[in-house]
Amino acid sequence: MQTDQVSDLLADVAERLILPRFGALESADIQEKKPGDLVTVADREAELELARVLREAEPGVLVVGEEGVFTDPASLELLAGARHAWVIDPIDGTRNFARGRPDFAVMLAEVRNGETVRGWIWQPIHRRLYVVERGAGVTCNGAAVPPPAPSARPVPLGASYLPVPGEECADVKVIRSWGSCGVDYPKLIEGEVDFLCYRSMFPWDHLAGGLMVTELGGRISTDAGADYHAGVIGRRLLSANNPVLWQTARDALFGD
């Protein structure tokens, strides 16, 4: 599918299946997959519709969706070796969505032979569409996103969804993130923070945003230094707007 076709697909699915339920969910529409991990009827319906259209466009393509993997993890195991795959996060920031908060996104990444080649982040309430193509940079609502300007902060500023042990004594400042990778990564590439830190490395959370980071000169790697791509696992994931900031944050938070 052409890039604009995919962008239109995300916007259409959000308009039909997600936004009508924003601020209007009943208790029966929200479930816990496991303690603290929410899913809504909108997550499930949006993922099914996105997967249907993508498979219809290319029969046999591997589709890896967050909700589908929860019930059948086999597709996730196939991702790193797949010739062509799509990775879906139908609502990234489900907790925000379920609580009527605007910080959520629909995210999609295209992977070929283990390499992320395109990615989309659509923020339906903020009406901001970020698109990345390997070798062609990042756009927001069609305008090119420049690499972040050098930070003038006295110490690097980062964000993490959960506290990082020892962060209060580190030579960096860490704030709580926005509860959605589809909001966090745009904040990073636009310079509102210098780095992001995560414990989980699920591909639907990080492939699209990670490609945006690297296209603009940044780095996304595990705390052990393994560059992130489909199939990479580790203890912590660290993204930063340039390799120097990545090393500074890594040493400050995880240095031995």
Which segment of 59-73, 135-149, 174-188 scores lowest on mean pLDDT?
59-73
Specify whether the CB–CB gap between 182 and 120 falls below 8 A.
no
Range list for CATH 3.30.540.10 in the chain: 3-144
Helices (H), 79-202: 94-98, 181-189
Distance of alpha carbon 173 from alpha carbon 34, whole angstroms: 31
If you classify domain 3-144 with CATH, what class do you get?
alpha beta
Query: What pLDDT sits at residue 256?
Result: 63
pLDDT classification of 34: cutoffs 50, 70, 90: low
CATH 3.40.190.80 is right for the domain spanning 157-254: yes
List the one residue out of 189, 153, 36, 48 whose CA is nearest residue 98: 36
Residue-wise pLDDT tens digits, 176-214 = 999 999 999 999 999 999 999 999 999 999 999 999 999
Record the pTM. 0.94
Range list for CATH 3.40.190.80 in the chain: 157-254
Predicted confidence (pLDDT) at residue 36 exceeds the cutoff of 70: no
Per residue in 140-171, is it b (16+ CB within 10 Å) or e — as a string?
A: beeeebeebeeeeeeebbbbbbeebeebeebe
